[in-house]
């Protein structure tokens, strides 16, 4: 991954001219805005401060060649991939860089690393793909003088596949494409496709309670974890590999979502499925967002939900159409059809079904009749295929927008169905008000991204002209307004982006002051010297 953006060098997604024009209008851009990034050699990097005895202990644990501190490695581990991360990195600020990167080859090598760091008072930041968008991997030190990133990239094996039980025991450093390739060779899939899929890891998914684009069908990662092994500064912790248990509180559910603040996930046993022989992705239109929400609710509660279900609001629909617009005859005919059916201000939805040919045919038939009865117009497979092709492209597009001087950020929540429209209106309104108030009128878009019987998630994207020089202040105002609105309207502060630093101040609102104290008690027991990922997850006292 390139240090200043998304993907590998050379990979890029260009903004089509119709979309650029739309943004110029909506964001009040002159078209002359530009955002640059400094060269790697110009990035400001603090001097490494890892004490020499600790370096020797780490080298003896993982091998000298796996304790790294080159400029590029340190900058790459200085931050995740949130908007503020990219603003800082592009501006040459890598003050969040670790003093060194340590790359163990196994759980056995992790244990002495944690021990050495706990004894020396060196912070340890577990690092998978580095794709956190909430400040989860920045090498903050807490009260400690030095910090190392514990990079799990060498722990990338499938340890065991249990075909009868449909589970796979995995190392945490496996990245999405490699995992799916290896499982695919065994005729299996995990079915976990977060937008970060190409660069994020099994351990990162589990540590942050990730959800993938197909999680409505395959289940979010926390629903796929059968068992875990973790290393903590005071020893190993394993949960039993059982399909279900009544043996007390769930320690698996304590380690999931702990974001490296209690320990490091060194193995995860995940449920897998036969790789789908068939995939059917289809576009739908609803005349209003409310109608679409109701249709998805009926679909989910009727046990007919697709594997992927998404519903864009009016604003996201408009931009999606502009992004996908080719100006072709088919395009124009499609728009004319929607106009004719009273959907010119409508909302675009996607459904995706995966499985055997027989299953896909049966499930999509049932879903289609429910969606039609609820007011949906089928747009056929073309929009569905287009969505599937572009499913991982948004972060690439962000680089292009940053190059054009446009702030672009996403945030998400989940709420009961009964509160969903209110959360949508409240959060969207708060973002518009906050950014318009600063003289940078935004585009705020949202889609329903995951369905549950009791509710759904909402995923917001907002764009605005960057305030040059005060980019972070501008972002903070918008983010804070949205977080406040989420909390006030009954949503959770995060459905799948996790907590990191950005949401840590909201944890008392989320789980209550006593809930925070319970988490602190667990941390105190597992990480008594507080070296594990300081300043993340839990708010400052």
Alpha-carbon span 428 to 289, nearest angstrom:
13
DSSP single-letter state for residue 5? S
Q: Please, which residue, 5 or 107, has the CB nearer to its own copies?
A: 107
DSSP string over 269-300: EEE-EEPPSEEEEEEEEESSHHHHHHHHHHHH
Min. distance of Cβ 345 from its own copies in angstroms?
24
φ and ψ at residue 397, rounded to 5 degrees: -65, -30
Q: Which stretch binds its own copies (CB under 8 A): 28-36, 219-227, 305-313, 336-344?
A: 219-227
Min. distance of Cβ 377 from its own copies in angstroms?
24
Task: Kindly state whether residue 287 participates in binding its own copies, applying the rule CB under 8 A.
Answer: no
Q: Please, which residue, 269 or 317, has the CB nearer to its own copies?
A: 269
Binding its own copies (rule: CB under 8 A), the pick from 37, 81, 141, 220 is 220
Q: Which stretch binds its own copies (CB under 8 A): 94-102, 139-147, 387-395, 490-498?
A: 490-498
DSSP string over 463-513: EEE--TT-HHHHHHHHHHHHHHHHHHHT--S-SSS--TTTTGGGHHHHHHH
Q: Are strands 235-238 and 225-232 parallel, antiparallel or unpaired?
A: antiparallel
Token pair listed for 244: 């279900």
Q: How many Cα atoms within 13 Å fall on the side-chain side of residue 155?
A: 31
Q: Of all residues in the chain, what percent are helix, strand and coil, respectively (each to 5)?
A: 40, 20, 40
Q: Please, which residue, 293 or 408, has the CB nearer to its own copies?
A: 293
Token pair listed for 107: 């759980």
Min. distance of Cβ 412 from its own copies in angstroms?
9
* Interface of this chain with its own copies, residues 198 to 217, rule: CB under 8 A: 208-211
Task: Kindly state whether residue 122 participates in binding its own copies, applying the rule CB under 8 A.
Answer: no
Binding its own copies (rule: CB under 8 A), the pick from 326, 436, 454, 470 is 454
Binding its own copies (rule: CB under 8 A), the pick from 110, 415, 446, 531 is 415
Q: Which stretch binds its own copies (CB under 8 A): 2-10, 389-397, 459-467, 492-500?
A: 492-500
Distance, C-alpha 347 to centroid of its chain: 24
DSSP single-letter state for residue 144? -
Q: Please, which residue, 49 or 525, has the CB nearer to its own copies?
A: 525
Min. distance of Cβ 132 from its own copies in angstroms?
11
Binding its own copies (rule: CB under 8 A), the pick from 68, 234, 386, 488 is 234
Among residues 203, 227, 82, 84, the alpha carbon closest in space to that of 150 is found at 203
Is residue 140 classed as helix, strand or coil in its secondary structure? coil
Q: Please, which residue, 274 or 380, has the CB nearer to its own copies?
A: 274
Task: Kindly state whether residue 275 participates in binding its own copies, applying the rule CB under 8 A.
Answer: no
Q: Please, which residue, 127 or 353, has the CB nearer to its own copies?
A: 353
Query: How large is the angle between the packed helices 289-301 and 357-373, nearest 10 degrees?
Result: 130
Query: Which residue matches tokens 């929540």?
Result: 413
Min. distance of Cβ 526 from its own copies in angstroms?
7
Task: Kindly state whether residue 492 participates in binding its own copies, applying the rule CB under 8 A.
Answer: yes
Per DSSP, what are the bridge partners of residue 273? 189
Is residue 114 classed as helix, strand or coil in its secondary structure? helix
Query: Which residue matches tokens 């959770």?
Result: 492
Min. distance of Cβ 270 from its own copies in angstroms?
10
Q: Please, which residue, 54 or 210, has the CB nearer to its own copies?
A: 210
* Interface of this chain with its own copies, residues 356 to 375, rule: CB under 8 A: 359
Q: Please, which residue, 170 or 414, has the CB nearer to its own copies?
A: 414
* Interface of this chain with its own copies, residues 505 to 534, rule: CB under 8 A: 506-507, 510-512, 514-515, 517-522, 524-526
Burial of residue 326 (CB within 10 Å: 0-12, 13-18, 19+) is exposed
List of residues 6+ apart from 476 with CB closer than 8 A? none
Size of the site for its own copies (CB under 8 A): 88
Binding its own copies (rule: CB under 8 A), the pick from 200, 466, 494, 533 is 494
Q: Please, which residue, 317 or 426, has the CB nearer to its own copies?
A: 426
* Interface of this chain with its own copies, residues 433 to 452, rule: CB under 8 A: 450, 452
Per DSSP, what are the bridge partners of residue 445? 461
* Interface of this chain with its own copies, residues 235 to 274, rule: CB under 8 A: 235-251, 253-259, 262, 271, 273
Per-residue binder mask for its own copies (CB under 8 A), 140-169, x = binder:
----------------------xxxxxx--
Among residues 261, 181, 219, the alpha carbon closest in space to that of 524 is found at 261
Binding its own copies (rule: CB under 8 A), the pick from 402, 414, 443, 445 is 414
Per DSSP, what are the bridge partners of residue 150? 102, 126
Binding its own copies (rule: CB under 8 A), the pick from 149, 457, 461, 533 is 457
Binding its own copies (rule: CB under 8 A), the pick from 343, 465, 479, 496 is 496
Distance, C-alpha 252 to centroid of its chain: 21
Among residues 297, 296, 299, the alpha carbon closest in space to that of 348 is found at 296
Q: Please, which residue, 95 or 369, has the CB nearer to its own copies?
A: 369
């Amino acid at each position: 991954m390139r240090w200043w953006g998304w993907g590998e060098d050379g990979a890029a997604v260009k903004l089509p001219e119709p979309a650029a024009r739309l943004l110029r209008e909506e964001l009040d851009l002159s078209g002359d805005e530009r955002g640059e990034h400094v060269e790697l050699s110009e990035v400001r990097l603090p001097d490494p401060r890892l004490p020499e005895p600790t370096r020797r202990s780490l080298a003896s644990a993982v091998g000298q060649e796996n304790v790294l501190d080159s400029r590029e490695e340190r900058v790459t581990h200085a931050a995740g991939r949130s908007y503020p991360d990219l603003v800082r990195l592009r501006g040459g600020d890598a003050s969040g860089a670790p003093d060194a990167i340590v790359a163990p080859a196994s759980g056995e090598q992790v244990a002495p690393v944690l021990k050495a760091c706990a004894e020396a008072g060196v912070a340890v930041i577990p690092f998978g793909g580095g794709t956190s968008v909430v400040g989860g991997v920045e090498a903050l030190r807490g009260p400690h003088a030095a910090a190392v990133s514990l990079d799990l990239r060498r722990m990338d094996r499938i340890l065991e596949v249990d075909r009868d039980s449909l589970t796979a025991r995995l190392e945490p450093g496996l990245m999405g494409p490699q995992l799916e390739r290896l499982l695919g060779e065994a005729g299996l899939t995990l079915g976990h496709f977060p937008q970060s899929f190409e660069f994020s890891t099994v351990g990162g998914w589990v540590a942050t309670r990730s959800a993938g684009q197909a999680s409505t069908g395959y289940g979010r990662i926390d629903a796929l974890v059968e068992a875990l092994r973790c290393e903590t500064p005071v020893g190993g912790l394993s949960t039993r590999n059982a399909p279900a248990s009544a043996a007390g509180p769930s320690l698996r559910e304590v380690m999931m979502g702990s974001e490296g603040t209690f320990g490091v996930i060194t193995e995860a046993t995940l449920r897998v499925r036969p790789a789908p022989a068939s995939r059917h992705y289809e576009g739908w239109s609803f005349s209003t967002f409310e109608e679409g929400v109701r249709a998805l609710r009926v679909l989910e509660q009727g046990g007919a939900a697709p594997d992927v279900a998404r519903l864009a609001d009016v604003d996201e629909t408009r931009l999606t159409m502009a992004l996908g617009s080719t100006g072709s005859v088919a395009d124009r005919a499609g728009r004319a059809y929607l106009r004719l059916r009273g959907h010119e201000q409508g909302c675009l939805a996607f459904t995706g079904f995966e499985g055997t040919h027989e299953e896909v045919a049966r499930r999509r038939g049932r879903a289609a009749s429910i969606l039609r009865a609820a007011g949906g117009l089928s747009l056929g497979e073309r929009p569905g295929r287009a969505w599937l092709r572009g499913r991982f492209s948004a972060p690439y597009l962000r680089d292009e927008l940053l190059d054009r001087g446009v702030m672009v950020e996403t945030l998400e929540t989940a709420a009961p169905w009964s509160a969903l429209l209110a959360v949508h209106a409240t959060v969207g309104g708060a973002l518009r008000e906050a950014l318009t108030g600063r003289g940078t009128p935004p585009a705020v878009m949202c889609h329903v991204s995951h369905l549950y019987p009791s509710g759904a998630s909402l995923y917001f994207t907002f764009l605005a002209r960057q305030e040059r020089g005060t980019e972070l202040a501008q972002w903070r105002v918008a983010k804070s307004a949205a977080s406040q609105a989420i909390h006030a309207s009954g949503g959770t502060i995060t459905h799948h982006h996790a907590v990191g630093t950005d949401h840590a101040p909201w944890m008392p609102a989320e789980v209550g002051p006593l809930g925070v104290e319970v988490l602190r008690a667990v941390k105190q027991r597992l990480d008594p010297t507080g070296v594990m990922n300081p300043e993340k997850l839990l708010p400052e006292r």
